[in-house]
Amino acid sequence: MENGILEIGPGQLALALVFILAAGAASLYHGLKLERDLLVGTLRTFVQLFLLGFILRYIFHLNSVWPVLAVFFFMIVFATRIIRERVKEKQVSFFWPILISMVISYSLVSILVTGVVVGARPWWKPQYFIPLAGMIIGNSMNAVAISLDRLLGELRKRRQEVEMMLCLGADYQEASKDMMTTAIRAGMIPSINSMMAVGVVFIPGMMTGQILAGADPVLAIRYQIVVMIMLVGSTAIVSLLAVLLVRRRCFSSGHQLVLRPRNTGSK
C-alpha cells in the first residue's frame, strides 16, 4: 500500500495555481474585487498547511505523549476562541464553560476512539490521535456555536415565559427547560443529517483521503463509520455540557435571568 500514493512535486503544485490565476483573472475582468482575498487565501493555504505538515512530521518523529496533548489542547483553545467570536454575547461570559466542556467531551471521545475502537498502541499514537481529534473538534465546534447561539437567543426572546415560570415557583432549570432542549436539538441536527446523507449525497473527506492513499474502500468505510459515529457522539456530549454550563451562567444564584434585553442597562 506504501506505493499506492502518487507524489505531488513542486512543479505540479505550481501547476495547480493555474486555477487560482484563472479565478483572479475572472475577478479582475468582472470587477469582483476578490483578487486580494484570493491572493491572501492562497498564501495562507500554502503557509498553514506546510507548517502543519512539518509540525506533524516533527511530532510523529518525537513519538511522545506531551507534544500530542499540546497540539490537542491548542486545537481546543483555538476552537473555543472561534466560537467566542461567532456567538456575539456581551452579558454572559462563556469562554471557560466552552473550554471545560470541550476538554471533557473531546478527551473522552478521542481517547475512546483511538485507544479502544481503532486500537492504536499507545492510545495517543500521533498518526491516529491528532487527525481523529482534529476531525472531532472541527466538526462539533459548529454544533457548540449553533447551540449556544440558539440558547442565548431563545432565553432572550422568551424572557417573559422564563420569568412567568420563575414567578410560579419554578427553579431556573424548569423555567428554561424548553429553551435548553431547543438549543441542543439545533446543534445536533446537522450532524444527524450528515449521517443520513453520507455515502449517498457526499463522500466524506477522510474516506476520500484514504482511498487516494491507496486504502481498500471497504477498509476506508469502516474508519468513516467510526468517524461519523464519534462525531455525533462528541457533538451530543459537547453541546449538552456547553449548554448546561452556559445556561447556569445566564441565571444568578437567586434564580434571576441575568440576560437582559439588549437596549436596557447598557446606556
Partner 1 sequence: MAAGSIIDFCNVSFGFSREVPLFTGVTLTIRKGGVYLVQGPSGAGKSTFLRLINRLEEPLSGEILFKGRPLSSYPPPVLRRSILYVQQTPTVIDGSVRENLLLPFSFKNNTQFEQPTDELLKTLLVDFLLRDVGLGDNALTLSLGQLQRLCFIRGLLLSPDVLLLDEPTSALDRESGQVVESMVEQLNRESGLTVLTVTHKEPKPGLITPLLLKVAGGHIREVIWKMES
Q: What residues have CB less than 8 Å from 246, skipping those under 6 apart?
A: 92, 94, 97, 98, 148, 151, 152
Residue 3 or 160 with smaller CB distance to partner 1: 160
CA 97 vs CA 11, 73, 80, 249: distances in Å: 47, 15, 10, 9
Task: Report the C-alpha gap between 83 and 142 in whole angstroms.
Answer: 8
Binding mask 146-185 for partner 1 (x = CB under 8 A): --------------xx-xxxxxxxxx--x-----------
- Which 205-264 positions form the footprint of partner 1 (CB under 8 A)? 252, 254-256, 260, 264
**Count of residues of this chain found to bind partner 1 when the rule CB under 8 A is applied:** 21
Applying CB under 8 A, does 90 fall inside the site for partner 1?
no
Residue 3 or 263 with smaller CB distance to partner 1: 263
CA 43 vs CA 40, 50, 131, 204, 250: distances in Å: 5, 11, 23, 26, 42
To partner 1, the closest distance from the beta carbon of 247 in angstroms equals 16
To partner 1, the closest distance from the beta carbon of 90 in angstroms equals 13
Residue 45 or 252 with smaller CB distance to partner 1: 252
- Contact between 176 and 250 under an 8 Å Cβ cutoff? The reply is yes
> 190: number of CA atoms within 13 Å, CB side?
15
Task: Report the C-alpha gap between 86 and 49 in whole angstroms.
Answer: 24
Phi, psi of 91 (to 5 degrees): -85, -30
Residue 57 or 157 with smaller CB distance to partner 1: 157
Residue 31 or 254 with smaller CB distance to partner 1: 254
Taking CB under 8 A as the criterion, the residue among 10, 88, 201, 266 binding partner 1 is 266
Residue 45 or 256 with smaller CB distance to partner 1: 256
- Contact between 246 and 151 under an 8 Å Cβ cutoff? The reply is yes
Taking CB under 8 A as the criterion, the residue among 9, 11, 31, 265 binding partner 1 is 265
To partner 1, the closest distance from the beta carbon of 202 in angstroms equals 37
To partner 1, the closest distance from the beta carbon of 157 in angstroms equals 13
The partner residues of 202 in beta bridges, in order of sequence, read 198
Task: Report the C-alpha gap between 133 and 238 in whole angstroms.
Answer: 14
Give me the residues that bind partner 1 (CB under 8 A), please: 160-161, 163-171, 174, 252, 254-256, 260, 264-267
